[in-house]
Every structure is written in C-alpha cells, then in structure tokens.
Chains A and B, each alone.
Chain A
C-alpha cells in the first residue's frame, strides 16, 4: 500500500476537480460562447459551501448542492444581459464579473474573512472517517493508515462526481439539447432560422457551466478545507480555458484530458512548474495557430475507435 500515498491521491483529486472545471467551460463553449468567469462562479460555490458548513453547520452534501445552485443562479443573472450580445462581450463581462466578485470577497471581511479567506472548512474525508469511527470502523482493517483513508475517500468521492458529470454531459450531447448546442455553435443564424430558441439555449449552456464551476468550487472547499480570494483569480480562469483549448473543445473528453495532462505534468516535472504560466501562454498561441480544435477532436476519437475494432481480440 506504499504507492497509495496522500500526495499522489491529492494530485489525483486536483486532476478530478480540474476535469470538472474543464467540462464547465466546455459546456459553455459548446454553444460557441467563451466564458472567462468560471473562476468567479467557482468562488461562489466554494464560499457558499464553506460558509454554510462552518457558520451554519449545514451537512456537507447539502452545502455542496446549495453552492452549485447558487453559482448556477448567478450564471443566469450574468448570462441573460450579456448573451444577447456577441461572444466578445460575454468574455469581457464574465471576466469583469469575476473581478467584481473577487473585490467583494476581499472587502466584505465580516462575512468572507477578507484576503485571508476561510480556514477549517470540514474536510470530506475527515468527516467520513469520524462518522465511520463512531460506528466501530478502523481504517486499519483495510490495511490503511488514517491519512491514507482520508485522501482515498476524497479521491473516490471526486472520481464518482467526475464520472457522473462526464456521463451526464455525454448523454446530454446526444439529446435534443445537445443537438441544439451543436447547431448554435456551427451557425447561430441558421440555428435561429431553423426554429431553435438560441437565447434560451445559450443561457442554459452558460448556466450549466456556471453551476458546474460552483460544484467544482464546493468540492474544492471541502477537499482542501481552506479557501481564499487568491484561489479564484484571473489566472484560474485562464487555466480553466487552457484545459479546454489544449485538450480540445469539440468533445467532452478533450477538456478532461487537458485537465489531467496539465495537472500531472507540472507535478511530475518540478522544473517545469516554475514556468507553468509561460508554458500556458505559449500553449494557447501555438494551439490556436496549429491545432485550434485541441489535441482531442472527434476525428481522432473515431480513428481510435476504428483501430480498436480492427485489432483482433
């Protein structure tokens, strides 16, 4: 059980949270809209969940649900005025929304703890361990140490959440809603002429992205047990964008791959870690010039599937 160390599990947990964030920007992009406010929506979810559990003793799952819904509601509020305009306005309005939100988080000290943030948020793994211990369970019976058990629990919960999220949106992409998204992305005017209510679907996609960011934020708060405004800066928004742009924004596996790759590689190669953002910047430019659809696109996936079928079992 040596390989199962908390550090590896923590990197794994960050991969999963980032994967959910990647999906959140993918959903919005799948209608051809760029949102730079996902870090802001993430902070809504994170702070709501953190405040509910530290100040009002709300159970963690209820807090996560409330945080996600609140972020989704914020998404509707921001989305409706800006989505009537072109994608460029949306990008800037959402960027501005994130910055206003961060100014509020820093200045409203009585509620948010100001620039210091909120500490001692109940951590999912610890809460479950305490609950299980009360019922006579000991991680030792599985051959695990306490901290291994805690990290493993968090990882597994996040894995479940990620799989459910990806499965939901994979299913969505084959539904009426998903086809409407694709139509809007390909040609907004043609979609409108074909009778698709584009504003409705654009606001829907945008709110889904916001809700998902809030969900990731709430999970983040209960995994790290500490949040501060510094976690939700413009850099976070760009990082989320890089996941989708690098991995690919035409298929849901793209941002998931992007999040996994770009989270693990800097951890594995510490020397790269110092140059992370320089690398992100180069990556964005190079991807746009040479492969704007990202590493993973539907054509690549089809090729994989075909060669998979071709090989004898």
Chain B
C-alpha cells in the first residue's frame, strides 16, 4: 500500500514538475508569469486525446501532435500578447500578467465552445497492462510517464547547461540588455523560451491525460494553479526548484488523499505557498536578492 502510493506520488509529482518547468522557464527569462500556460497545456491534452483516443493513432504521434500545436500556440502568444508589451516605455510590470490572464480565459472558453464542459475519456491503449514487483503493482502507464518526464527534465537540464543556445538563454535570463549587447539575439531567445515552455506544456497535457484517464476544459486552470504554487514553493525561475517542488507536491497530495481527506487535496498547494511566503519567501531553491524581497 505505502509503496504503491509512493509510486503514484512520484508519477503525479513528475507531471507537476513538467508543468512547473514551463512556468519557471518563462519567468526565468522574461520575468513574467505566463498565466496562459495552463490553458496551452489543456490544449495539448485535448490534441493528444483526439489523436490517440478518437483517431486511434499510437502514443508517439499523440505527443508529436500535441507538441506541434502547443508550440504554435506559444509562438502566437509571444507574438500577439507578449512582444507588443515589451520595451514599451512606462509599461507596468502587471501588463503582461493581465494580458496572459486574458489569453488564458480566452483559450479556456474557446475549448468550452469546441469540446463542451464535460469530461472526455482519455484512452491509452496499454492502460490495463500492469506487472508485479514483489507485492507492489506497477502500471505500465506509470513507467512510461515517469520515463518521459525524466527524459524531458534531463534533456532540458543538459540543453541549458551544455549547449550554446542554452548558454545564450541563461545569459538572456540573467540580464536581457547585457546579453543583447554581447550579441545574443534576445528576441529570438525569448521566442524560443516561450515556444519550448509551451511544447513542454503540451507533453505534460498528454501525460496528465494518461495518468487521470479523463480531461476537461478546467484542467488548465487547476493544473496551472498548482504549477504556479510549485514555482513559488521551489523559487521563482529556478529549474531545479520546479523539479523538486513538483515531486514534493505530488507526493504530499497522494498521501493526503490516501491517509486523510480528499476534499482538500487541491488546497494543499496553496497552503504550501502561504507557509513558504511566511517562512522562506524566496522559495526553497530561490536566491535572496534585494529585488526579490521587494
């Protein structure tokens, strides 16, 4: 029982980590919170559902389709809702927050118009396959989810730390103007960041569909809120903080549901935020800077 819950928690946590990474990448580079990330993620889940459950195509095609669609949405988001606000004199730091809230509410209700408000079954062909390791039952779906998340996280970490583009992205995150002066095409880096973050959201959407077996147009909001909670918890803009925060949230939710009350499951994330804001406002892995404390 305990071990099975542990596996459930780690599976859920790895999905949360992927969702949170999407937020943290954009925050790290642009210093803004992309409130539309949850809805882009939701579209990824729907695209995956249409490809796999409705058209009967295999899982990799579903991932590919979700990635293509959400990456395109990320590109549009950057061009239409973020770039026009950038570098405009006197623009409030709230402008981009409000504009992405606009995109999120728009996308959620477009999804409502297209798919309706009800739950859609997300069928994975190998959903029933499981095997036993000693007394513990493990589902193949969980293994696949875990593998994909780990691959994605490792790939991202490697890309950020080892490649030229990753270096340029880190430089842009550190200081936009200086990076620009040193020859980094910052506009391109920003676009790349938003597109990569959105594509990761698309992957996370398909993973959530696989894990929960159903999706609706509200998951963007609920998962998005958890992603936000995680990046505050883990430290804004910290990639490793998002990974650790995701795992911690996934595990604590699973254990609260298993040994406590399921009604408050969705509140855990926010209780965690309030506690962390009181005790360690910069987050678990965040750096204390004079600016962050303001």
Chain A residues close to B by CB (< 8 Å): 29, 32, 34, 78, 81-82, 84-89, 91-93, 95-97, 99-100, 103-104, 106-107, 188, 234-235, 238, 241, 245, 275, 277-278, 280-285, 287-289, 292
Q: Mark B234-255, 1 if CB is under 8 A from A, else 0.
A: 0010000000000000000000
Q: Could you say which residues of chain B place their CB within 8 Å of the CB of A93?
A: 232, 273-274, 277
Q: Could you say which residues of chain A place their CB within 8 Å of the CB of B107?
A: 281
Classify the interface of chain A: helix, strand, loop or mixed.
helix
Name the residue on A nearest B283 (C-beta): A89
Cross-chain contact A100 with B271 (CB below 8 angstroms): yes
Is B204 in contact with chain A by the CB < 8 A criterion?
no
Q: Mark B76-100, 1 if CB is under 8 A from A, else 0.
A: 0000110011000001111111110
Q: How far is the CA of A289 from the CA of B81 in the complex (A)?
A: 7
Cross-chain contact B274 with A284 (CB below 8 angstroms): no
Cross-chain contact B101 with A100 (CB below 8 angstroms): no
Q: Which of B92-115 contact A (CB under 8 A)?
A: 92-99, 101-110, 113
Extra inter-chain contacts (18) besides given A84-B281, A84-B293, CB under 8 Å: A34-B94, A82-B277, A85-B281, A85-B292, A88-B33, A91-B97, A92-B228, A96-B269, A107-B261, A278-B106, A278-B109, A280-B102, A281-B102, A281-B106, A285-B99, A285-B106, A288-B95, A288-B98
Is B270 in contact with chain A by the CB < 8 A criterion?
yes
Q: Could you say which residues of chain A place their CB within 8 Å of the CB of B104?
A: 281
Is B294 in contact with chain A by the CB < 8 A criterion?
yes
Partner of B109, one of A85, A100, A281: A281
Q: Could you say which residues of chain B place their CB within 8 Å of the CB of A285?
A: 80-81, 99, 102-103, 106
CB distance from B23 to the nearest CB of A (A): 10
Cross-chain contact B270 with A97 (CB below 8 angstroms): yes
With A88-B93, A96-B225, A97-B270 in contact, is A107–B105 under 8 Å at CB?
no
Is B264 in contact with chain A by the CB < 8 A criterion?
yes
Is B278 in contact with chain A by the CB < 8 A criterion?
yes
Q: How far is the CA of A283 from the CA of B109 in the complex (A)?
A: 14
Name the residue on A nearest B106 (C-beta): A281
Interface size on B, residues (CB 8 A): 49
CB distance from A107 to the nearest CB of B (A): 4
Cross-chain contact A238 with B101 (CB below 8 angstroms): yes
With A34-B97, A87-B93, A281-B103 in contact, is A107–B264 under 8 Å at CB?
yes
A-B contact pairs, 26 of them (CB 8 A): A81-B277, A81-B281, A84-B281, A85-B292, A86-B292, A87-B94, A89-B277, A91-B97, A92-B229, A96-B228, A96-B269, A107-B263, A235-B105, A238-B105, A241-B101, A277-B106, A277-B108, A281-B107, A281-B109, A284-B99, A284-B101, A285-B80, A288-B85, A289-B81, A289-B99, A292-B95
Is B266 in contact with chain A by the CB < 8 A criterion?
yes
Cross-chain contact A95 with B277 (CB below 8 angstroms): no
Q: Could you say which residues of chain A place their CB within 8 Å of the CB of B278?
A: 81
Q: Could you say which residues of chain A place their CB within 8 Å of the CB of B225?
A: 95-96, 99
CB distance from B241 to the nearest CB of A (A): 15
Q: Could you say which residues of chain A place their CB within 8 Å of the CB of B81?
A: 285, 288-289
Q: How far is the CA of A8 from the CA of B103 in the complex (A)?
A: 32
Q: How far is the CA of A241 from the CA of B232 in the complex (A)?
A: 22
Cross-chain contact B109 with A282 (CB below 8 angstroms): no
Q: How far is the CA of A235 from the CA of B109 in the complex (A)?
A: 11
Cross-chain contact B110 with A278 (CB below 8 angstroms): yes
Cross-chain contact B101 with A96 (CB below 8 angstroms): no
* B98, B107, B266, B270, most chain A CB atoms within 10 A: B98
CB distance from A244 to the nearest CB of B (A): 9
Cross-chain contact B274 with A282 (CB below 8 angstroms): no
Q: How far is the CA of A277 from the CA of B267 in the complex (A)?
A: 25
Q: Which of B256-287 contact A (CB under 8 A)?
A: 261, 263-264, 266-267, 269-271, 273-274, 277-278, 281
Cross-chain contact B273 with A234 (CB below 8 angstroms): no
Is B73 in contact with chain A by the CB < 8 A criterion?
no
Is B221 in contact with chain A by the CB < 8 A criterion?
yes
Q: How far is the CA of A304 from the CA of B33 in the complex (A)?
A: 37
With A84-B293, A85-B281, A86-B294 in contact, is A96–B270 under 8 Å at CB?
yes
Cross-chain contact A289 with B108 (CB below 8 angstroms): no
Q: Please list the 8 inter-chain residue pairs (A to B) with the smallest Cβ-Cβ separation, ordered nearest first.
A: A284-B102, A281-B106, A96-B270, A288-B99, A107-B263, A281-B105, A285-B102, A103-B267
With A95-B225, A285-B103 in contact, is A106–B293 under 8 Å at CB?
no
Q: Could you say which residues of chain A place their CB within 8 Å of the CB of B98?
A: 34, 241, 245, 284, 287-288
Cross-chain contact A85 with B266 (CB below 8 angstroms): no
Q: Could you say which residues of chain A place their CB within 8 Å of the CB of B110?
A: 278
Q: How far is the CA of A91 from the CA of B273 in the complex (A)?
A: 12
Cross-chain contact B109 with A277 (CB below 8 angstroms): yes
Partner of A289, one of B32, B85, B106, B273: B85
Q: How far is the CA of A245 from the CA of B97 in the complex (A)?
A: 12
Q: How far is the CA of A287 from the CA of B266 in the complex (A)?
A: 32
Q: How far is the CA of A97 from the CA of B291 in the complex (A)?
A: 24
Q: How far is the CA of A241 from the CA of B98 in the complex (A)?
A: 8
Q: How far is the CA of A95 from the CA of B110 in the complex (A)?
A: 22
* A88, A99, A234, A285, most chain B CB atoms within 10 A: A285
Cross-chain contact B264 with A103 (CB below 8 angstroms): yes
Q: Could you say which residues of chain A place their CB within 8 Å of the CB of B281?
A: 81, 84-85, 89
